[in-house]
Amino acid sequence: MTSAPETEPSWGSQYRLVASEKWKAKSAVMGQAVTDALVEYAQPAAAIKVLDLASGTGEPAISLAARVGEHGHVTALDLSAELLEMASGRARARGLKNFATHKGDAHTLPFPDNHFDLATSRFGVMFFRDVVGALRELRRVLRPGARACFAAWGSFEQPYWRSTMGVVHRHAGGPLLPPGGPNPFRFAEPGSLSQVLKAAEFEQVEEQARTVAWTWPGTVEEVWEQAQAVSVPFRPMLKRVPPEMWPKINADVREAVEKYFDGEKIEFGASVVLASGRK
């Protein structure tokens, strides 16, 4: 098992980028069911223009590019040029020529009005600094009648989080997440994501809870290392754990995660929120 992480909480930290590269294949497998659920929910048509916000290493943008065909186009936008380079590499490996990346901020989109036919974001909307402002900006670049579709985390009280960060929190005490800081569970409360979509003047707003697969194709040690490396919002909690406490935490995480391990893969399952609105 790994010990305490050693970097500052930063979305673009070198440690996170290295971890993203190291675990990109297995992380993609783990997130595939959420990607598939969002793509199916978005119902992309052929030959449309799609914008994927907070795209990171490229999903669901890459899956959408495969769906919209050679006459369609997908733009993946993220704050991290390094993560977008990973996304570009993945798209090239799949032979996708209708895929482009753009480094940018969701709050000030570098696109003209009425430009896209569909927008998506997987696990990104929870971290927008001014979520209503960002959604209004997104609405601006959508064509009339276009749909914006989002996937967000459900409650913290689900297997993946409870058996990793929940174990740390039980030992470390204090706040699980810094007050006012990034919160992956910002829209776990039913109706909360719908509320901000309506505040941003989206229409035909809908929302649903969904449980999908969240499966790590490897060992307990691997998924725990990956969780610590990429779960940026929890890093303040991880950093305040005294060194002497880590052996016990690591042992307890192993015990908690092994309940979902079948000898080859770890089947957590994930509770997510899907929501959408139309311009």
Chain segment 138-177, per-residue pLDDT in tens: 999 999 999 999 999 999 999 999 999 999 999 999 999 9
Q: What's residue 229's pLDDT?
A: 85
Burial 49-63 (b: 16+ CB within 10 A, else e): bbbbbbbbbbbbbbb
The first and second tokens of residue 39, run together, are 């793509």
Q: How far lies 215's CA from each of 53, 82, 100, 211, in Å?
A: 24, 26, 28, 12
* Domains, the chain, with CATH or none: 14-278 (3.40.50.150)
In whole angstroms, give the CA distance from residue 201 to residue 197. Answer: 7
3-state SS assignment for residue 261: strand
Largest Cα–Cα distance of the chain, in whole Å?
Answer: 58
Q: What's residue 8's pLDDT?
A: 36
Q: What is the mean pLDDT of the chain?
A: 92
Q: What's residue 18's pLDDT?
A: 55
What average pLDDT does the segment 102-130 reach? 97
Cis bond before residue 110 (omega within 30° of 0)? no
What average pLDDT does the segment 71-87 reach? 94
**pTM of the complete model:** 0.92
Q: What's residue 17's pLDDT?
A: 58
